[in-house]
A and B are shown apart, each in its own frame.
Chain A
Amino acid sequence: MNTTHSLRKTGTILSFLLPSFIGFLIFVFSPMIGAIALSFTNYSGGPNFRFIGLKNYMVAFTDQNFLSYLLVTFEFMTITVIFQIGLGLGFALLLSRNFKGCSTYRGILYLPNILSSVAVGLAFMFIFEPSSGFMNQLLASLGLPTSKWLASSKSSLSVIITIAIWQNFGYYMVLFIGGLQNISRTQYEAAEMDGAGKIKQFFHVTLPGLSPILFYGLTIAIIRGFQVFDYIYIMTGGQQGGGPAGSTNVLAFDIYLNAFTFFRFGYASAESVILMIIILAVTFLQSHGQKKWVNYDIV
C-alpha cells in the first residue's frame, strides 16, 4: 500500500516535470551535445564535413583574436559584476525598509530590467551618437567636453558596460531586498545589545544573513557577464564586425561571427565549448568557495 502510494506520488511529480524536462532535453541538452560533437569537426553548415580532432581548440588557443576577445569578456564581466552587485546591495539597503514612496523608488530602479535589451541598446545608440546624440548635445550645452562614445575604441566598451549596469542592477536590488527582509530583527537587536554599531552590524549580521542570496546573485551575474552579446551586436555594428577596431568584441560575439558570418560552425562550437568550460570552472570555484563565506544557518 505504502509502495503503491509512493509510486503514485512519484508518478504525479514526474508527469508535472515531464514537459519542462522534455523541453530541456530538446532545446538545451541536445544542442549542447551537438555543439560539443561539432567542435571536433570542420562543419560549415552542410553535409560535407569531417572529424579533425582537437584542431579547432589548438587554433583557438593560438589565435591572437580569440585571446584578446577572452580578455575583453573578462573585463566586461568583472566590472559589470562589481557594480551590479555593489549598486544592487547599496540600493537594497536604502530601500529595504518601508517608508513612504519606497515602492515607487523600487519600481523605478527595477523598470530598466524589464525592458528588452535590444530596445535599450538601440535607444542608447542614438543617445550616444557622436555628432548629434542627446548626450553630446547636453554636454555641449553645459560647456563640458564631448566624447566619441561608441565611435571610439577607448570609450565604446565603457559605454556598453555602463548601460549593462544601469539596466541590470535593479534585478539584484530586488533580490537583495527580499534577502534583507528575511533577516530576523532579533539578530540586529542582539547585536545592538552587545554594543555593535551600524557598520559592525552590517558586516556581522547583514552580510552573513544575506550571503546565500549574495552567492546566488554573484553566480548569476558572472554567468550573464560571460554571455553578453546583445548590447555588443546592437550597439556596435552587428554583422559588420563589432565595435571600433574590435574593441568591444567579446567571445560570444566572436562565436556569432565565426558561425553566422564565416560559417565556421565547427570552430565556433569549439569556442562555445571553451566558454562553457570557463563558466563551469568559475561556477565550480565559487561553489567550492561558498563553504568559507556563505551561511545558510542564520534565520
Chain B
Amino acid sequence: MKKRTYLLVTVLALLCSGVLFAAGGAESAASKKDEGPVVISYYTWDDGSHKALIDTFNATHSHIQVNAQILPAADYETKLTTLLSGRADIDAFMEKRQSDMFGQYANGYLEPLDSYIKATGKPNEAVEAFKSSSVINGDIVVIPWRGGAYYTYYNKNVFKKAGVPTPDYYVERGEWTWEKFEEVSKAITAADSKLVGSTIYIWGGQGFFQAGQAGDSIVTPDGKIDSIENVVKQLEMRKRLEDVGAMWSLIDMKVTKLHYSKQFYDGNVGMLLIGEWFPGQMVVGAKDGLLAFDFEDWGITRLPCDQEEYVTVGLPTGNCITSYSKKKDAAFEFINWMSGPAGAAVAASYGVLPAAPGEAARAEIAKNLPKGNSIDYFLEPKRNNTANFSPYGTRVETEFATIQEDFLLGNMTVDQFRTKFTKTLNDIIKTTY
C-alpha cells in the first residue's frame, strides 16, 4: 500500500512537471497540419486601420492569409523584443519605434529587402519617399506604409471664441513661425482662461520639432553630439506657454495619463501638434460620439516652421520581415501590398496618410478630412527631417524627457539644462556598446 502511494505521488509530480513542457509543443504540432494558403504570422498593435488592412488583404488574396497577432500599443515594443528574442513565430511585424530597428538589425533579426524589391522589377515608391529612414548600413530593412509628418491640427470653434485667426491664415502669409505659434497660443488663453492655446504631447521626441526642422541630429549615427540650441529654444517656449496656462502642462498630462486625442476631442484646446495618424483618430472619435464639436469644425495645416523652405518632422511607420521566417516571399507580398496603391486606399479610408498616396488614396483621405484647405496641407509635397533616427535615439528621447521635466518644474536654469543634457548625451554615447 505504501509502495503504491509512493509511486502514485511520484508519477503525479512528474506529470505536473511534464505539462509545463508539453503545452508549448501542441500549438506548433497543430499548425503543421494546415494545408491551403500560406499563412503568415504578422504582429502589429491595436489600431482600427491595421485590422482593416489585414482583412482587405485576406479577402483579396486567396493564396496568402495573414494571421494577425495584436499586441496592445502601450507595451508593443517590449513585447515585440521579447518575442523576437524567443524566436517566436513571427514572419513580419510593424515597427512602432523606428530607432529600435538599429538594435534589431545588429542582432540579425531584420531581413534585408533589397533583393525582394529588385525582383518586383521597380523601386518601391514608399521606400524611395523615405529612403533615409528605411536603410541601415546600406540594407533596406523596412517598407513604410504610413507616411511620417507632423501637422498643426486646430479647432476652429476655439479660434472663433478667442477672436484669433486660425493658423492657416498665417501659413498663407508665410508667417507661421514658432514665434507666431507662441503668440497665438497665448492669445487664445488670454481671451478665455478655460481655453488652452495649444498642446504638445509628453513623448520625448516631441521636444525636437525645431531641431528636426533645422536638420539637427542631436547625436549623429557615428556618435557625435550635434547642436542642441534648437532643443533649448523649443523647451524655453514650452515653459513660457505652460507658465501662463497657454499650453497643457506636460507633467500633468503624464501623471493623469491624459491622451492628446481626449484633449482635442473635448474642444477646449486650440491647437495640437501631432502626426499624420491623427485624422484616423478623429474619424474614430466622431464615429464613437466623443467629439465635443462638429467634424467640420477642425482643420489641418503646417507645423510652425522657422526655416526658409517648409519642412516637417516625423518618421514613417513600416513593416519588417524577420530573418528567420520560413515564409519570407509571402510576407514580402503582404508588406509590399500594404505600401502600394491598394493598401494606401484602405489606410486612407481610415484617415491615415499613406507613405506613397496614389490618386485613389487621395480621394479616400479627402472623405475623412474636414472640407476646405486641410487636404491641401495634408497631402502637399514637403521635406521631412528625421531627427533622432539613430542607435541612440530611444535613450536620447527618454533621458531628455526626464531632464525636460526638471526644467519645466523650475528646478534648473537654461544653462544648467544645457550642461546636464550635454553630459547626458556624452554618457549615452559612451555607454552604448
Contacts and interface: CB of A to CB of B under 8 A. Distances in A.
A260 B78 contact: yes
A262 B77 CA distance: 10
A263 B256 CA distance: 27
Interface string B245-258: 00001011011110
A177 interface: no
Interface stretch (B38-46, B57-65, B105-113, B299-307): B105-113
A165 B251 CA distance: 25
Contact of B255 (A44, A55, A63, A151): A151
A154 to B, nearest CB: 9
B254 A237 contact: yes
A80 interface: no
A263 B100 contact: yes
B78 A261 contact: yes
A236 B295 CA distance: 34
A244 B401 CA distance: 9
B78 A150 contact: no
B390 to A, nearest CB: 13
Nearest to A128: B255
Contacts of A208: none
B203 interface: yes
Nearest to B428: A262
Given A245-B411, A263-B81, A153 B9 contact: no
Contact of A262 (B9, B17, B104, B398): B398
A151 B249 contact: yes
B187 interface: no
A3 to B, nearest CB: 15
Interface in A10-69: 11-12, 15-16, 18-19, 22, 26, 42, 44-49, 52, 55, 59, 63
A238 B74 contact: yes
B32 interface: no
A130 interface: yes
Given A16-B9, A26-B20, A46-B108, A241 B81 contact: no
Contacts of A12: 5-6, 9
Q: Which of A12, A55, A129, A261 has the largest count of B CB atoms less than 10 A from its CB? A: A261
A263 B103 contact: yes
B395 interface: yes
A244 B405 contact: yes
A246 interface: yes
A186 to B, nearest CB: 43
Contacts of B82: 45
A46 B13 contact: no
B100 A22 contact: no
A235 B257 CA distance: 9
Contact of A261 (B5, B17, B77, B254): B77
Contact of A59 (B84, B108, B254, B431): B431
A45 B409 contact: no
A103 interface: no
B402 interface: yes
A241 B103 contact: no
A170 interface: no
B2 interface: yes
B103 A261 contact: no
A240 B100 contact: no
Q: Which of A55, A151, A238, A246 has the largest count of B CB atoms less than 10 A from its CB? A: A151
Contacts of A131: 252, 256
A152 B411 CA distance: 11
A15 to B, nearest CB: 4
Interface string B272-296: 0000000000000000000000000
A52 to B, nearest CB: 7
B409 A152 contact: yes
B309 interface: no
Interface string B392-423: 00110010011101100101000000000000
Nearest to A249: B402
Interface size class on chain B is 35 or more
A45 B103 contact: yes
Interface in A222-277: 235-242, 244-246, 249, 257, 260-263, 267
Q: Which of A22, A125, A235, A244 has the largest count of B CB atoms less than 10 A from its CB? A: A244
A46 B202 contact: no
A30 B37 CA distance: 41
B35 interface: no
B77 A244 contact: no
Nearest to B16: A19
A16 to B, nearest CB: 7
Interface in A120-170: 125, 129-131, 149-153
A49 to B, nearest CB: 8
Contacts of B401: 240-241
A52 B432 CA distance: 13
Interface string A197-233: 0000000000000000000000000000000000000
A48 B107 contact: yes
A8 interface: yes
A66 to B, nearest CB: 11
A262 to B, nearest CB: 5
Contacts of B409: 152-153, 244-245
B427 interface: yes
A245 B103 contact: no
B106 A46 contact: yes
Contact of A153 (B108, B256, B411): B411
User: Which 9 A-B residue pairs are closest in the complex by CB-CB distance?
Assistant: A46-B107, A245-B406, A260-B78, A245-B405, A15-B9, A18-B13, A151-B255, A237-B254, A246-B402
Interface of B: 2-3, 5-6, 9-10, 13-14, 16-17, 20, 74-75, 77-78, 81-82, 84-85, 100, 103-104, 106-109, 202-204, 249, 251-252, 254-257, 394-395, 398, 401-403, 405-406, 409, 411, 427, 431, 433
11 contacts: A22-B17, A46-B109, A48-B106, A48-B108, A52-B433, A153-B406, A236-B254, A237-B254, A238-B74, A240-B254, A242-B402
Given A241-B401, A245-B411, 12 more contacts: A15-B6, A16-B9, A22-B17, A47-B108, A130-B256, A131-B256, A151-B255, A153-B405, A153-B411, A239-B78, A244-B251, A244-B405
Interface of A: 8, 11-12, 15-16, 18-19, 22, 26, 42, 44-49, 52, 55, 59, 63, 125, 129-131, 149-153, 235-242, 244-246, 249, 257, 260-263, 267
